[in-house]
């Protein structure tokens, strides 16, 4: 069986497991107040070119989204997101459970435009009844998006400018950020994110860690007492070092970036192979996720040789499926896939 | 330096790290639907003598408490707990953030009695205004308590009987359950807990795991759709196996019990040593936590040789401090401690 | 100035004010436990042909919606509503503040179809990831809708049948129910609502009361301890009689129905007048709200002679405005309007 | 039967009912944006000597407490209150339903001292684990208290000074404020409250109105978008004028104060009568509530001649009961009571 169903189907990158093993018996205080966490935070601040940033480690993406959004919004505000955004669809209503409406905009390959956000805010501002309505309070983007697509630096600058005009916070969900940073056409760096966002998170779970996401807050005064908020929401690990050690490893010598670039390189190869062999890609995604159209026969044939994710039914004859690469994907896997898809 | 400050100051028991390493490259589906989790669940069901139980893995104790209590209570109900209960004091208002009042009772060495619960419910029932008041809906106990003390089987049976009389749910926080199970005077087994509680959790983080708590629901119909609830509250790990693998190891061949009993054996030895050398124990705690009274000179002398936890100031001259043993405590540590305290 | 801006621009129907005055010095216990409330409840039960129903009096429509929906839904569920539903647009996120997502469907003149609900539930059921998604838990309808349109008995029966199939609760917002009950083409009675809905409310504020809505719960076991829930959400009036007296008057000798039918009769006349004088109605609404298309000149001309509500901009030249009749509208007002619009 | 059970057992003061009747047919816009509300707000600002204050009208005391406290506190904060405070006991967990812990202090006749608040904050500040604990964020007082007692100006100044020292908000629940303002020994004026509190409310329901409380916010920047928050929590009346008209009447020519002083004068007479006839007052309460000790025979004898409230059982032989005066109490009622109690 060939495994391309997701980027979280194993444990951690072996280097991370090794580091957890090596440090295992060292003593440290709890709750993320240890030296491993401090070292990881410092490395992340450096990578983001933002020496004043606060960095908080959390366990997963939905947790990061739920906490950051609940902490940034006022009770009378909602968060603008693509209708395909993870918070809009696959977080079981986590944002609403925190008290806030997700104000959805139609997506274009997973993305929303600064113009669409502007129009939504404009409508709110000009509605004579807007004091009876949810006020847009922030923008949620994912980089890369759920469609594996990316925002360009220009697009983010435009979004920032609309946010400034309407007093919106800008938050980016980087569950798979390593793969965006590594994509050929990417022009958005971590320092760009730190400069343009109010908060963003650097995904660990889907980029080589056992678990863990690093929430970066360039201007910490935006999230006062966030430590206590994390504790209150049940998201503070007693052994906070479990996350610190992993991020310390991920941000040592550019490791996070090389994890991303190797996975994207192989994904690019797969895209080429698929095209060469006459497969149709559903849309262009430059990161570690590959969206390919299969007809029913092909689906049936591959089903017991290859794991993939169902994406959506295109028509009675065709389905879009998703393949994903990660640190665990090897050249050999790609060769086997090529043989399989010939 | 000698480290006795807590039972979560290292990584995981080496056997667990080893198991995480060995399984690291095996493929599995996400979100706790993998074979590791299934195997761990089965072992826990067997250990609890409860083949119909549902077992959910969560990341920490506050998370487990917050989710279980929010899921079990109706909006108009509160949870009865000792005023020293973890949910009453050190969870940053997690229960209230979930919408519920903690109805506190005065503790006796961390414990509350069935009679006190009965009286509280009686008062509520007989108050003509009780429809304007928070209705007691469940009882929260910790086993062992925050004072390292334990409920006996008889005490739990009495509590269950009061719960039945007033329609209360009974929930036990087992953050350090391994140490209660292993204590000499303990007469409460996992099957007892499964029979007497509506829900309880078996602590991993403070009993040898990197992180993780196993929530046991003997009658699963009490927590319908709990998977989705976990997801919504940001508590579902994409790599759920991280928890499953650890609990599979902890419940292989009685490992969880031997972790507990080794730590308690060393704690008992320390208690004896301390008494022999004229130290006063603040109160009798039969599990892995030792509460000793130090005078100011002694505190100052030990401060740079030994890590311990501040418990409470007794008077101007004396302080109660807590020492804790765990899987990581060795005979050698105990000897060094003896030398230090002579 | 002629006033047609809304149906809540005065105090109460004079008969209600009179009754409040007459009863003013009588003594009663608080919190809705008085004889006025009991009498009103009994009259409403009779009018609904549902002797077992529980009736709760609340102060306003958003309050009623927020409380009923929060009480009926499980935490993992959301409520299906038209994208134009009051809870979707003009309640400032009250449903989300209660923890639940509003699952919107495109409206057709304010209505949604049983088929659309069925399809939404079908998609949820068949989505392999649905445990990560908000589960549809109930349907919210308004009768009449925000567009002044109505569901027919057949449409409600179909909706009930879809609800039964998927285990959904059915809830109807009757803020302007008097006007639906009185509309010529209406075939839905109060007993029909009591039979088909899980909960609905009979609007007072917009149908002649000073304030007040009567929440009807045909099967009270669906909302246990709702009194305490009302108290907890700050919705219990100390002088609950203020609401009871009004509803007792509204349901004496068919008064509620005659308020509705007089307002609808005048609205029908206005619709005829407008059509006769060449005005275009934006859409057909058979209740007390009239939606008429005005061009810019006409708007400007009427602006200081007539109050109306802005509904929506149709194009650069035209606007839809809303006129509303109520118990306070007189024949004389209609004549003046006719003169104005000629 | 003589009625002294509460101060909310009739409708409204006849002058208020008359004003509601007189204004009934006047037209106004909805949601509290009308001239009646504006006029009432202006009169309240004048009475408070605070021209910059914002005034919001709500329907009841629990609603006011729940909304103000939820709006003033950060998520990681709790509210300090007497253990006998209304929010601690008789609001069905409304504060916790809003996400916050009530941090109770032992009361002394319903009051808490600045020193006790200071000590609680001190303990929090000096606890090394305080980031795991609920942070005190505000103080809740009631004036008069649930025991009919009052804070002196000096006590409030001391409380303000402790609040300033620890960054706490100060909020006063004035459900029965008219009676405190009118008490002989009172030295706290409305301008004092406006100067010393962050927010307070002037009770209407228990001081002569049908329903309604006026929330005064001396520095409106403390509660931004409170209108939308009110709407979201279901507390905005469509016919907001119902509250505005009443408060406009209550604050016309010192009417609110004369309602209070007449009720207190009669309460003082009753207290004298009771003492003269050998009854024991349970404690000294200088406002409209009288707490008298009855033995069992007396209780039985009075039970079908007089309505009163049960307060608490003193011992097997004695009970404390509460009598309350209000605008509806007459000299004649007091005479009858005297005859009854002789």
Tokens of A162: 């609309």
Band of residue C342 on the pLDDT scale cut at 50, 70, 90: confident
Question: Residues of A numbered 214-273 whose beta carbons fall under 8 angstroms of chain B's beta carbons: which are they?
Answer: 228-229, 231-239, 241-242
Share of chain C above pLDDT 90, in %: 99
Q: Are strands C213-217 and D280-281 parallel, antiparallel or unpaired?
A: unpaired
Answer whether residue B80 shows pLDDT above 90.
yes
Contact call for D91 and B128, based on CB within 8 A: no
Give the separation between CA C178 and CA C288, rounded to whole angstroms. 9
Residue B182 touches chain A, beta carbons under 8 Å? no
pLDDT digits (tens, 9 = 90+) for A176-209: 999 999 999 999 999 999 999 999 999 999 999 9
Which of D244, D112, D235 minimizes the C-alpha distance to D172? D112
Question: pLDDT exceeding 70 applies to what percent of chain C?
Answer: 100
The b-or-e profile of C327-339 (16+ CB within 10 A means b, else e) is: bbbeeebbeebbe
- Judged on CB neighbours under 10 Å (0-12, 13-18, 19+), A111 is buried
Answer whether A90 touches C (CB < 8 Å).
yes
Q: Which two tokens stand for residue C317?
A: 């030249």
What values do phi and psi take at D255, rounded to 5?
A: -60, -40
Complete DSSP assignment for A275-331: HHTTPEESS---SSEEEEEEEHHHHHHHTTTEE-EEEEE-SSSEEEEEEE--TT--H
Longest dimension (CA), chain A: 63
Which of A91, A93, A100, A137 best tests the C interface by mutation, with the highest count of C CBs <10 A? Answer: A93
Q: Is the dihedral of CA B90, B91, B97, B103 positive or negative?
A: negative
3-state secondary structure (DSSP) of residue B334:
helix
Please check whether residue A95 is in contact with residue A102, taking contact to mean a CB–CB distance below 8 angstroms. yes
Chain B residues within an 8 Å CB radius of D132: 90-92
Q: Give me the pLDDT at residue A268, please.
A: 97
Comparing CB atoms, the residue among D14, D206, D237 nearest residue C60 is D237
Residue B329, SS3?
A: coil
Task: Give the phi and the psi of residue C28 in degrees, each rounded to 5.
Answer: -155, 155
Of C9, C64, C97, the CB nearest to D28: C9
Cα–Cα distance, C338 to C4 (Å, whole number): 13
Nearest CA to A110 out of A145, A71, A80 is that of: A145
Contact C25 D10 (CB under 8 A): yes
Q: Are A240 and A228 in contact (CB under 8 A)?
A: no
Q: How confident is the model at residue C119 (pLDDT cuts 50, 70, 90)?
A: very high
Q: Does the beta-carbon distance from C17 to D11 stay under 8 Å?
A: no
Interface contact D75-A76, CB threshold 8 A: no
Restricting to B residues 36-75, those with a Cβ less than 8 Å away from any Cβ of C are 70-71, 74-75
In the predicted model, what is the mean pLDDT of chain C? Answer: 97
Q: Residue C89 pLDDT > 90, yes or no?
A: yes
Subunit contact D227:A131, Cβ cutoff 8 A: yes
Q: How far is CA B189 from CA B180, B182, C168, in A?
A: 9, 10, 42
Closest Cα partner for D243 from D26, D42, D36, D44?
A: D36
Q: Which residues of B75-110 are buried (b: 16+ CB within 10 A; e: fewer)?
A: bbbbbbbbebbbbbbbbbbbbbbbbbbbbbbebebb
Residues of chain A contacting B89 with CB distance shorter than 8 Å: none
In this complex, is the C-beta atom of B131 within 8 Å of any C-beta atom belonging to chain C?
yes
Other CB atoms within 10 A of residue A222 CB = 15
Residue C299 C-alpha, separation from nearest chain A C-alpha, in angstroms: 17
Nearest-by-CA chain A residue for C104: A104
Can you tell me the mean pLDDT for B221-247? 98
**φ and ψ of D303, to 5 deg:** -55, -35
Q: How many residues does chain A have?
A: 342
For residue D148, say if its preceding peptide bond is cis, omega within 30 degrees of 0: no
Q: What is the pLDDT of residue A342?
A: 84
Q: Per-residue pLDDT for D342 more than 90?
A: no
**pLDDT given at position A163:** 98
D131 contacts in chain B (CB < 8 Å): 92
Distance from CA of D173 to the nearest CA of C (A): 14
Neighbours of A278 (CB within 10 A): 8
Query: Is the pLDDT confidence value at B342 over 90?
Result: no
User: pTM higher than 0.90 for the full model?
Assistant: yes
Regions of chain A short of the pLDDT cut 50: none
- B94, A231: Cβ pair inside 8 Å? yes
Contact B34, B246 (CB under 8 A): no
- D53, D222 Cβ separation under 8 angstroms: no
- Decide if A132 touches B, using CB distance below 8 A: no
pLDDT in tens, C203-222: 999 999 999 999 999 999 99
User: Residue range B21-48: average pLDDT?
Assistant: 98
Query: Do B66 and A234 count as a contact with CB atoms less than 8 A apart?
Result: yes
Average pLDDT rounded to a whole number, residues B211-218: 98
pLDDT in tens, D289-330: 999 999 999 999 999 999 999 999 999 999 999 999 999 999
Return the partners of chain A (3 or more C-beta pairs < 8 Å): B, C, D
CA–CA separation, C240 and D211 (whole Å): 9
What is the Cβ-side half-sphere exposure of residue D241, based on CA atoms within 13 angstroms?
A: 24
Q: What is the mean pLDDT of chain D?
A: 97
For C250-270, what is each residue's pLDDT tens digit? 999 999 999 999 999 999 999
The token pair that represents B284 in the structure block? 């009798």
Q: Supply the angle between the helices C255-276 and C241-250 in degrees, to the nearest 10.
A: 70
The whole-number pLDDT of residue C251 equals: 98
Q: Mind listing the domains of chain B with CATH numbers?
A: 2-7+256-340 (3.90.1150.10), 14-254 (3.40.640.10)
Q: Can you give the C-alpha Rg of chain D in angstroms?
A: 20
Instruction: Give the minimum alpha-carbon distance from B247 to chain D in angstroms, rounded to a whole number.
Output: 27
Strand partners, B214: B57, B202
Q: At a CB cut-off of 8 Å and minimum separation 6, what does C167 contact?
A: none
- The C-alpha atoms of residue A100 and residue A117 are separated, in whole angstroms, by 18
| C5 near A CB under 8 A | no
Q: Among partner residues D232, D233, D238, which is closest to C8 by beta-carbon distance?
A: D238
Q: Which uninterrupted H or E stretch holds C164? A: helix C153-166
DSSP-derived letter for residue A134 is P
> What's the confidence (pLDDT) of residue D249?
98
Q: Cα-Cα-Cα-Cα dihedral of A169, A175, A180, A181, to 10°? A: 80
**Nearest CA to CA, how far is D246 from chain A (Å)?**
24
Interface pTM, i.e. ipTM? 0.97
Contact yes or no for A101 and C102 at CB 8 A:
yes
Radius of gyration of chain C (CA): 20
Contact D47, D234 (CB under 8 A): no
At D170-216, the pLDDT tens digits run 999 999 999 999 999 999 999 999 999 999 999 999 999 999 999 99
Q: Which residue of D92, D96, D133 is in closest CB contact with B133?
A: D92
What are the C-alpha distances in Å from C91 to residues A15, C101, C236, C271, D116? 52, 13, 20, 29, 41
Does the pLDDT value for residue D142 go beyond 90?
yes
Tell me the C-alpha to C-alpha distance, in Å, between residue D149 and each of B221, D143, D177, D183, D185. 50, 8, 11, 10, 10
Identify whether the C-beta of residue D140 lies closer than 8 Å to the C-beta of residue D173. Answer: yes
Alpha-carbon dihedral angle through residues B117, B119, B123, B124, given to the nearest 10 degrees = 20
- Chain D interface disruption, residue of C26, C234, C236, most D CBs within 10 A: C234
pLDDT digits (tens, 9 = 90+) for B139-185: 999 999 999 999 999 999 999 999 999 999 999 999 999 999 999 99
C-beta of residue B147 within 8 angstroms of C-beta of residue B141: no
The residue behind tokens 């406290």 is D69
């Amino acid at each position: 069986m060939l495994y391309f169903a997701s980027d979280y189907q194993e444990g951690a990158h072996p280097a991370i497991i090794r580091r957890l093993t090596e440090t295992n018996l060292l003593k440290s205080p709890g709750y993320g107040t240890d030296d491993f966490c401090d070292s990881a935070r410092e490395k992340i601040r450096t990578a983001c070119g933002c020496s004043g940033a606060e960095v908080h480690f959390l366990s997963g993406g939905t947790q990061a989204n739920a906490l950051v959004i609940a902490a940034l919004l006022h009770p009378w505000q909602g968060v603008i997101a693509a209708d395909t955004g993870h918070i809009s669809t696959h977080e079981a209503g986590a944002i609403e459970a925190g008290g806030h409406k997700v104000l959805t905009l139609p997506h274009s390959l997973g993305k929303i435009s600064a113009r669409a956000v502007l129009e939504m805010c404009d409508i709110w501002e000009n509605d004579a009844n807007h004091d009876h309505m949810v006020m847009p309070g922030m923008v949620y983007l994912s980089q890369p998006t759920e469609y594996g697509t990316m925002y360009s630096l220009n697009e983010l600058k435009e979004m920032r400018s609309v946010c400034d005009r309407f007093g919106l916070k800008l938050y980016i969900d980087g569950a798979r950020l390593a793969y965006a940073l590594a994509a050929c056409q990417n022009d958005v760096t971590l320092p760009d994110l730190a400069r343009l966002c109010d908060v963003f998170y650097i995904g660990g779970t889907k980029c080589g860690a056992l678990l863990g996401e690093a929430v970066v807050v360039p201007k910490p005064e935006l999230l006062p007492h966030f430590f206590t908020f994390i504790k209150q929401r049940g998201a503070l690990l007693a052994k906070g070092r479990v996350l610190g050690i992993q991020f310390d490893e991920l941000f040592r010598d550019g490791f996070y970036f090389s994890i991303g670039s190797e996975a994207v390189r192989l994904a690019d190869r797969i895209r080429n192979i698929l095209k060469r062999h006459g497969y149709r890609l559903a849309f262009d995604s430059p990161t570690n996720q590959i969206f390919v159209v299969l007809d029913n026969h092909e689906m049936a044939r591959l089903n017991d040789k290859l794991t993939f994710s169902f994406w959506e039914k295109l028509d009675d004859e065709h389905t879009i499926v998703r393949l994903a690469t990660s640190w665990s994907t090897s050249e050999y896997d790609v060769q086997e896939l090529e043989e399989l898809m010939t």
